[in-house]
């Protein structure tokens, strides 16, 4: 007997994913909520600077901006000098969200 599947496919392999319940349970839910809160604040500030609206859009641009801002400031070697960690995260995410919004407008 061979190890090949008994059914015939059309050449496409279905993509299957499984969620590990224990891995999901280990996520720090407060950290995720804090990141969403930082993203919301940063997205709102970025939209105030460059225009835009919408709660979902604020969160998406803010969370994406936190990654972009962190990478950009690290790459440029810029330290904002803000001692409060929450305000530093919001400022970094706002810078990144502003870059994300401007880049999206240039592309669109």
Calculate the average pLDDT of the chain. 80
pLDDT tens figures, 31-52:
788 888 888 899 888 888 888 7
Domain-wise residue ranges, the chain: 28-107
Listed in sequence order, the residues at least 6 apart from 1 whose beta carbon sits closer than 8 Å to its beta carbon are: none
State percent of the chain over pLDDT 70.
75
pLDDT of 19: 53
Half-sphere CA count of 33, side-chain side, radius 13 A = 3
């Amino acid at each position: 007997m061979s190890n090949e599947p008994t059914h015939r496919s059309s050449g496409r392999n279905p993509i299957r994913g499984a969620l590990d319940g224990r891995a999901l349970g280990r996520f720090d839910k407060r950290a995720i909520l804090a990141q969403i809160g930082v993203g919301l604040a940063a997205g709102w500030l970025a939209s105030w600077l460059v225009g835009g609206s919408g709660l979902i859009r604020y969160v998406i641009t803010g969370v994406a901006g936190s990654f972009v801002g962190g990478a950009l400031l690290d790459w440029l070697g810029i330290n904002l000098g803000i001692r409060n960690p929450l305000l530093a995260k919001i400022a970094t995410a706002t810078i990144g969200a502003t870059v994300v919004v401007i880049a999206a407008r240039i592309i669109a």
